[in-house]
Amino acid sequence: MDSLGLFIFLMLLYLQWTPAPATEEITWTYTGLVGQPEWSKYFPDCGGTSQSPVDVITTQTKYDTSLIPVTPLGYSQHGNKPFTLYNNGHTVVIEMPEWMGLGGLPWFFTAVQMHLHWGSGGPSHGGSEHTINGLSADAELHVVHYNSELYPNVSIAMTQKDGLAVLGILIVTGEETNPAFNNILNYLQRIRHADQKVSIPAFDVQSLLPKDLGRYYRYNGSLTTPPCYQSVIWTLFHERVQISMAQLLKMETILYSSKAEDPERILLQDNYRATQPLKHRVIFASFSAESGKELSSGEVTAIVIGVMCGCVGLAVIVRFIVKTIRFFKLLHHETVVVNSSTSSWDVLPSNRPATMPRIRETEKAKVKKQDMALNSTCEAEKKEEPLSLQTEP
Ligand SMILES: *[C@@H]1O[C@H](CO)[C@@H](O)[C@H](O)[C@H]1NC(C)=O
Ligand SMILES: *[C@@H]1O[C@H](CO)[C@@H](O)[C@H](O)[C@H]1NC(C)=O
């Protein structure tokens, strides 16, 4: 009945305003009649070339040393003024006070609101909008700011270049409860239906963010919901935040996308958009893939063994060089002794490489003599061995 009604409504809409449908009136959804594949029919930007979310293929990101950590400003100064929590039928929105902002970008951005995206069916069933190397997280938090240096308000900024800065925080499930998220989740019961609003105690917004604000991916993209304006400077953090399974299930099962007066209740689930083609865009990383890599215990063992082998090898080489130098010094000393005495032992002088060019010989003979010198080196080394063992501690 409901979808038939919507269909008739849309048909009438089409007949009345064929060239430009009144986009304000259209109720879009993630699946169904005005689902994702249809968005661009009503909201042309949704079919653009710089859409969000995207899949971040980490090996294809470009390390950019100019990307400094983003700095949340006033996130912890809530001043005990209550926040407003709102079910808009697509997500839960927390309105943010205007004194909160974001630094570390080329302009100052003023905070507007934050909201969540999630899946259905618990962990490992999707839920995040951005994916990393094709893998989804269980949910995603977006903190939205507008460029208050260039634009007068968010309504104007969201339609303009560099108008918005959104922080993307990937959420995964783990053992521990994340108390920061309970500041939102504990109040969902009061806004189960679309269009419901409630005041909630203010809390430290920074506690929702990962600790490491220095490592992130940066790219130019769009709103992930209609009208999909391509005005967003995206910051997707490398570090994920963790919530418990029970917290994820609350997020996934409490809210409805339908209004209180609607006869049919529709759970608000799977409110994430599919990843969009990157087209000609580059995703920048504020960190190099290697330094950010966490090593497994096997890799650590391999590195330790490798370094040890390297050290032993180096010690052997150094020892050999020292011994060779010592041998030549010894040889030089003996030669001098032999020469100063009147004994005619004429093999020795030719063993000294320094004296060789002085002797006129054929090339063949030279090679032979060099071989002899090499052999005597080995022999001298063998002879010297017990001696050096005694002298070294
Ligand atoms: C935003 O600013 C524009 C231009 O100054 C103004 O026309 C509009 O009413 C403002 N919108 C809001 C929501 O304040
Ligand atoms: C975003 O686009 C602007 C040009 O419109 C460009 O100067 C900037 O470097 C781009 N940023 C990223 C992260 O690609």
- Measured on CA atoms in the order 337, 338, 340, 343, is the torsion positive or negative? positive
Longest Cα–Cα distance in the chain: 124
The answer, yes or no, to whether any atom of ligand 2 lies below 6 A from the CB of 218, is yes
From the CA of 156, how far away is ligand 1's center (Å)? 7
User: What pLDDT does 15 receive?
Assistant: 44
From the CA of 290, how far away is ligand 2's center (Å)? 25
Nearest ligand, CA 155: 1
pLDDT at 242 over 80: yes
Nearest ligand, CA 154: 1
Burial per residue of 262-276, b for 16 or more beta-carbon CB atoms within 10 angstroms, e otherwise: eeeeeebbbbbbebb
Residues 47 and 273 sit within 8 Å (Cβ to Cβ):
no
Cβ-based neighbour number of residue 171 at 10 Å: 24
Nearest ligand, CA 146: 1
From the CA of 220, how far away is ligand 2's center (Å)? 6
Q: Which residue has the higher pLDDT, 16 or 115?
A: 115
User: What pLDDT does 4 receive?
Assistant: 57
- Taking the C-alpha atoms of residue 192 and residue 369, their distance in angstroms, rounded to an integer, is 96
- Taking the C-alpha atoms of residue 180 and residue 359, their distance in angstroms, rounded to an integer, is 87
Active site residues: 90
- pLDDT single digits (tens) 380-389: 444 444 444 4
User: What pLDDT does 94 receive?
Assistant: 98
Q: Which residue has the higher pLDDT, 311 or 1?
A: 311
Residues 242 and 60 sit within 8 Å (Cβ to Cβ):
no
3-state secondary structure the chain: CHHHHHHHHHHHHHHHCCCCCCHHHCCCCCCCCCCHHHHHHHCHHHHCCCCCCCEECHHHCEECCCCCCCEEECCCCCCCCCEEEEECCCCEEEECCCCCEEECCCCCEEEEEEEEEECCCCCCCCCCCCEECCEECCEEEEEEEEECCCCCCHHHHCCCCCCEEEEEEEEEEECCCCHHHHHHHCCHHHHCCECCEEEECCCCHHHHCCCCCCCEEEEEECCCCCCCCCCEEEEEECCCEEEEHHHHHHHHHCCECCECCCCCCCECCCCCCCCCCCCCCCCEECCCCCCCCCCCHHHHHHHHHHHHHHHHHHHHHHHHHHHHHHHHHHHHHHHHHHHHCCCCCCCHHHHCHHHHHHCCCCHHHHHHHHHHHHHHHHHHHHHHHHHHHHHCC
- pLDDT single digits (tens) 105-141: 999 999 999 999 999 988 989 999 999 999 999 999 9
What pLDDT band is residue 95 in, cutting at 50, 70 and 90? very high
User: Using a 6 Å CB cutoff, which residues line ligand 1?
Assistant: 152-153, 155-156
Nearest CA, atom 13, ligand 2: 219
User: What pLDDT does 314 receive?
Assistant: 83
Per the prediction, the chain carries an average pLDDT of: 83
- Measured on CA atoms in the order 347, 353, 356, 362, is the torsion positive or negative? positive
The answer, yes or no, to whether any atom of ligand 2 lies below 6 A from the CB of 219, is yes
Nearest CA, atom 7, ligand 1: 156
Beta bridge partners of 140: 117, 170
Side chain identity, residue 361: E
User: What pLDDT does 233 receive?
Assistant: 98
- pLDDT single digits (tens) 268-292: 999 999 999 999 999 999 999 765 4
Q: Which residue has the higher pLDDT, 16 or 113?
A: 113
- pLDDT single digits (tens) 174-224: 999 999 999 999 999 999 999 999 999 999 999 999 999 999 999 999 999
- Taking the C-alpha atoms of residue 211 and residue 188, their distance in angstroms, rounded to an integer, is 26
* For the CA of 64, the nearest atom of ligand 2: 13
pLDDT at 337 over 90: no
What pLDDT band is residue 257 in, cutting at 50, 70 and 90? very high
Q: Which residue has the higher pLDDT, 322 or 167?
A: 167
User: What pLDDT does 307 receive?
Assistant: 76
- Taking the C-alpha atoms of residue 183 and residue 202, their distance in angstroms, rounded to an integer, is 8
Residues 180 and 116 sit within 8 Å (Cβ to Cβ):
no
Nearest ligand, CA 62: 2
User: What pLDDT does 73 receive?
Assistant: 97
Q: What is the mean pLDDT of residues 98-103?
A: 97
Nearest CA, atom 14, ligand 1: 153
pLDDT at 226 over 80: yes
From the CA of 114, how far away is ligand 2's center (Å)? 24
Nearest CA, atom 5, ligand 1: 152
- Name which of 184, 213, 96 is nearest 146 in CA terms: 96
What pLDDT band is residue 313 in, cutting at 50, 70 and 90? confident
Nearest CA, atom 12, ligand 2: 219
What pLDDT band is residue 293 in, cutting at 50, 70 and 90? low
Q: What is the mean pLDDT of residues 146-174?
A: 98
pLDDT at 52 over 80: yes
From the CA of 98, how far away is ligand 1's center (Å)? 15
What pLDDT band is residue 331 in, cutting at 50, 70 and 90? low
Terminal Cα-to-Cα distance of the chain (whole angstroms): 95
The answer, yes or no, to whether any atom of ligand 2 lies below 6 A from the CB of 220, is yes
The answer, yes or no, to whether any atom of ligand 2 lies below 6 A from the CB of 160, is no
From the CA of 157, how far away is ligand 1's center (Å)? 10
Q: What is the mean pLDDT of residues 232-239?
A: 98
User: What pLDDT does 304 receive?
Assistant: 72
ω before 106 within 30° of 0 (cis)? no
- Give, for ligand 2, the residue of 50, 107, 217, 220 to mutate: max count of ligand atoms closer than 8 Å to Cβ: 220
**Confidence (pTM):** 0.72
Q: What is the mean pLDDT of residues 368-386?
A: 44
